[in-house]
A and B are shown apart, each in its own frame.
Chain A
Amino acid sequence: MKINDVILKTVSKAAVLIIFTFGIYLFLSGHNEPGGGFIGGLVLASAFVLLFLSHDSETISDAIPLDFKKISALGVLIAFASSTVPMFFGQPFMSQSFGYFDLPIFGKTELATVTVFEAGVALTVIGVVVNIIFSISEDE
């Protein structure tokens, strides 16, 4: 689909930036506030979808040379691989742990292994959603 709409393009460029920031915020805040891997990934995916819709898909795939099939596969791999890590420390499969650390600038911060797992979920969601929408929109 080729759409030539200057206003849409300009607005979407600004909007995408905001959506990306919001998506990353949602992903990181998920531990204690509303958000998380699934919703963060979905918001990020919607930003990509907006880009694909406002610009023609060829321009975007040249500008963002990512294979979203591979991103979704990577996501599943991260979710599975991160779950096996505890087994190497004598813990059952999928055990998660967390701790509080004093980091420069951030101060006392909680770091949790579940974030890695959530990152896998987020990548899967981004990859799948963008891939589906992209392949349908390309089909003619």
Chain B
Amino acid sequence: MHLLILAILIPFFAAALIPFLYRRIGKLNIGWFVLIVPLALFIILAMRIPDISAGDTIAATLEWIPSLGINFSIYLDGLSLILALLITGMGSLVILYSIYYLSPYDSLPHFYAYLLLFMGAMLGVVLSDNLLVLYVFWELTSISSFLLIAFWFHRKNSRYGAQKSLLITVFGGFGMLAGFIMLHTMTDTFSVREIAASISQYTDHALFYPAMFLVLLGAFTKSAQFPFHIWLPDAMEAPTPVSAYLHSATMVKAGIYLVARFTPIFGGTSAWFWTVTLVGLVTLFWGSFCAVRQTDLKALLAYSTISQLGLIMSLFGMGSAALYFGDGSDGALYGLATFAALFHLVNHSTFKGALFMVVGIVDHQVGTRDIRRLGGLISFLPITFTFAMIGSFSMAGLPFFNGFLSKEMFFTASLNSASLPIFSAGTWGWLIPVIAWTASVLTFVYCMIIVFRTFLGQPQLKKLDKKPVEPPIGMLISPAILSLLIVGIFFAPNLLGDHLLRPALGGVLPGMAGAAPHITAWHGFQPELWMTLGIIVIGGILYATLRYWKKVYSLIPDTWTFNNLYNRFLAGLENNSNTLTSFYMTGYLPHYFAYIFTFFVLVAGGTLVFTGALSIDFSNDAPVKPYEFLLVLVMMIAAVAILFVRSRLTSILLNGVLGFSIAILFVLFRAPDLALTQLVIETVTTVLFLLCFYFLPELKKDRIPRNAKIRNAAIAIAGGTTVVLIALSVHSGKLFESISSYFENSYELAGGKNIVNAILGDFRGFDTMLESLVLFIAGIGVYTLIRIKSGKEPKKNEDK
């Protein structure tokens, strides 16, 4: 098996091992063992950099369900490599940090198992070439994110945030799945590369645009784009290492990755350009606007993440215009936006990761993240202050930090797009740089809030729970590495650009890797520089006068927010479904039977009549023997008798008579498999009935009104008639060629002479496998229902 396929599977295996390992290692923190996984994977992936930067790609396939076109096929190009390196690299740093951050009272095996689950799933998302495999991993990241947000599940807010994130991201995921299936309908393949190669024939297809918007729905919900951004601030209830890892560096970038991955497929169209760019820009502005008013540092960072994700998203939108022009100077001009997007993607992970870790340190050492209670921490936490400053200034786009480079490129790209000659950009194109600049001013303001409100000013020690001191050295290592990267990338940007960004550009804009620019910090007195200077001046003024214009925020009533909409929608959904369900769920078994049989008669019987399958033909039948008549007579008597007996015990036994007679019928017709199964099933169900009978009250037949009796009788007769008609039609008519001759080869194909079992275990093994899963779920369901009702879950199970 290919090493990269193993790389996806290793985290899952490691997660499965944790519970066993945890008991063995005694007092040592399990995190040290977990740390090995991402570190090893990072090294494995980093060793591929030379190949990838030389323009190679690596592909490997493991067949999964080839008959449906679903294969475990992976594909590593520059784009996947960047994401994979982020996942494993940030993963290592975050795990190292979490070893010191989490308290020994937290359930560490759960935490690290979830984290590894996420890491494997995320690697699966960025390395899969097959859309359905990608989808499975995609939802797995949502689930692991849900588990991690609800890690402190005793808190109400954690549970609320976890549910919200799951509902919104899975909702988008379903849309994305529908989009994938539409793509498959058009191109007849699930492989991203094959779709990209053949999509040009299908741009006029009726499903082209629906597929595009559904895929974008998945990307926007996952990457917290406006108006789906509301889940991200609530996800901040997760432990800070999780916020740093999932909710800023990796998982929320999955949507951006998806947009980048699909740019070769949908890019070059006007709809893609405007949707991605505008949604990104609105998110950029709205995120930074909301971030300024936050008082909780983590909430502020959450909105800032939303805003920065919007920035990257809009850059991918602008860059897609390059595909319209193709390989040429115009293409290179607009392709710069894509390059900037990739660059900022990396930079954002470094500075936002560092900032989250800083906030985690403040929270951990001081006991609060509320900026109204913080201030003057510089004299207590000087090292942490340094990291906070580096991270914030980089995010604000100030020189000597990597954020400056990508921010300038962002301005260049937005100015380029304003003068785009296509997609009717002439009318509204000027909006792009205006929104970009305004949002960047607000970004500057909240970056200053992070640094100055927390670390400068008067210390308010009385409001703090504990006296602030620097954290243990282990907690400082990860932000230190990230801070070094922030500065290092500024001074040697082309090391990153040439080896990682250039091949990634080729992945987003095929054949245009050569358009990658040489990154320079100084390009003379260009508009970009004036924009940056303007941000510093205006942003500085706005920061100083913040208390005067903060009233702006109270202009929007609370009832108008998307959060409120979400909450009311959810509450309404619960109420309505409750009303609807209690309308037909009467808790009265005969009603349920009436529904089931009416439905059966209408659907099955209706299909039989309308498809013209109804045909009854006795001409080829063998004569009925007298003892067969006798057996059927016994069955009929037993069935009718059940209606008139007055005790449950008798009706159970009569039901048994019916079942065993059917078994005898199977024997007579030489079907030993069926007879055996019927006999045993009948035995077990009779026992089951008798057990249940023990708890049931006496039969009270007299209370049923006459009308209901007649109605029930009519439904029962109709149900019985339908079954008989279907059985006779199946026997008489042949709508299509029988496939049974295939199964007759079971001895050669499956090595078994028993055709029935060869079908069950081999030919149609999928059915059997999933049936046993259903059986298992049903069994657990019965067990839980009984135990919950009686409220006596055995204690011994919990102690284990």
Do A and B interact?
Answer: yes
| Complex contacts, A118 vs chain B, CB 8 Å | 757, 761
Q: In the docked arrangement, what's the CA distance between A139 and B779, Å?
A: 15
> Size of chain A's interface in residues, with CB distance under 8 A?
56
Q: In the docked arrangement, what's the CA distance between A120 and B62, Å?
A: 24
Q: Using CB atoms, name the residue of chain B closest to A83.
A: B769
B64 at the interface (CB under 8 A from A): yes
| Complex contacts, A125 vs chain B, CB 8 Å | 772, 775
| Complex contacts, B751 vs chain A, CB 8 Å | 31, 98-99, 110, 112
In the complex the two chains form, is B63's CB within 8 Å of A87's CB?
A: yes
Q: In the docked arrangement, what's the CA distance between A53 and B683, Å?
A: 13
Pick from A43, A91, A120, A128: contact of B680, CB below 8 A: A43
| Complex contacts, B1 vs chain A, CB 8 Å | 88
Q: Using CB atoms, name the residue of chain B closest to A68.
A: B779
B591 at the interface (CB under 8 A from A): no
CB distance from B760 to the nearest CB of A (A): 7
| Complex contacts, B753 vs chain A, CB 8 Å | 31-33
| Complex contacts, A37 vs chain B, CB 8 Å | 760-761
In the complex the two chains form, is A96's CB within 8 Å of B765's CB?
A: yes
Pick from B67, B695, B761, B778: contact of A96, CB below 8 A: B761
A73 at the interface (CB under 8 A from B): yes
| Complex contacts, B756 vs chain A, CB 8 Å | 34, 36
| Complex contacts, B787 vs chain A, CB 8 Å | 135
A69 at the interface (CB under 8 A from B): yes
In the complex the two chains form, is A32's CB within 8 Å of B772's CB?
A: no
Q: Using CB atoms, name the residue of chain B closest to A138.
A: B786
In the complex the two chains form, is B786's CB within 8 Å of A69's CB?
A: no
B328 at the interface (CB under 8 A from A): no
User: Given A39-B676, A46-B684, A136-B691 in contact, is the A114-B65 Cβ separation under 8 Å?
Assistant: no
In the complex the two chains form, is B778's CB within 8 Å of A53's CB?
A: no
CB distance from B753 to the nearest CB of A (A): 4
A71-122 residues at the B interface, CB under 8 angstroms: 72-73, 75-76, 79-80, 83, 87-88, 90-94, 96, 98-99, 110, 112, 114, 117-118, 120-121
B44-92 residues at the A interface, CB under 8 angstroms: 62-67, 72
| Complex contacts, B672 vs chain A, CB 8 Å | 34
| Complex contacts, B779 vs chain A, CB 8 Å | 69, 72, 127-129, 131-132
Secondary structure of the B side of the interface? helix
Pick from B684, B691, B754, B761: contact of A137, CB below 8 A: B691
| Complex contacts, B765 vs chain A, CB 8 Å | 83, 94, 96, 114, 117
Q: In the docked arrangement, what's the CA distance between A75 and B683, Å?
A: 23
In the complex the two chains form, is B63's CB within 8 Å of A79's CB?
A: no
B203 at the interface (CB under 8 A from A): no
Q: In the docked arrangement, what's the CA distance between A28 and B752, Å?
A: 12
Q: Using CB atoms, name the residue of chain B closest to A84.
A: B64
In the complex the two chains form, is B676's CB within 8 Å of A34's CB?
A: yes
B677 at the interface (CB under 8 A from A): yes
| Complex contacts, A99 vs chain B, CB 8 Å | 751
B608 at the interface (CB under 8 A from A): no
In the complex the two chains form, is B754's CB within 8 Å of A124's CB?
A: no
Q: In the docked arrangement, what's the CA distance between A35 and B762, Å?
A: 15
Interface string of B784-797 (1 = CB under 8 A from A): 00110110000000
| Complex contacts, A43 vs chain B, CB 8 Å | 680
Q: Using CB atoms, name the residue of chain B closest to A87.
A: B62
Q: In the docked arrangement, what's the CA distance between A94 and B62, Å?
A: 13
B681 at the interface (CB under 8 A from A): yes
B741-779 residues at the A interface, CB under 8 angstroms: 750-754, 756-757, 760-762, 765-766, 768-769, 772-773, 775-776, 778-779
Q: Among the interface residues B776, B782, B787, which one has the most CB atoms of the partner chain A within 10 A?
A: B776
| Complex contacts, A42 vs chain B, CB 8 Å | 677, 680-681, 684
User: Given A39-B676, A87-B72 in contact, is the A73-B776 Cβ separation under 8 Å?
Assistant: yes
By Cβ-Cβ distance, the 9 closest A-B pairs, closest first, are: A128-B779, A98-B751, A32-B753, A34-B672, A124-B772, A36-B757, A114-B761, A31-B752, A42-B680
Besides the known contacts A124-B776, A125-B772, 19 further A-B residue pairs in the complex with CB atoms under 8 A apart:
A26-B676, A31-B753, A33-B753, A35-B754, A36-B760, A46-B680, A76-B773, A83-B769, A87-B64, A90-B63, A92-B65, A93-B63, A96-B750, A98-B752, A110-B751, A114-B750, A125-B775, A135-B782, A135-B783
Interface positions of B (Cβ within 8 A of A): 1, 62-67, 72, 672-673, 676-677, 680-681, 683-684, 687-688, 691-692, 694-695, 750-754, 756-757, 760-762, 765-766, 768-769, 772-773, 775-776, 778-780, 782-783, 786-787, 789-790
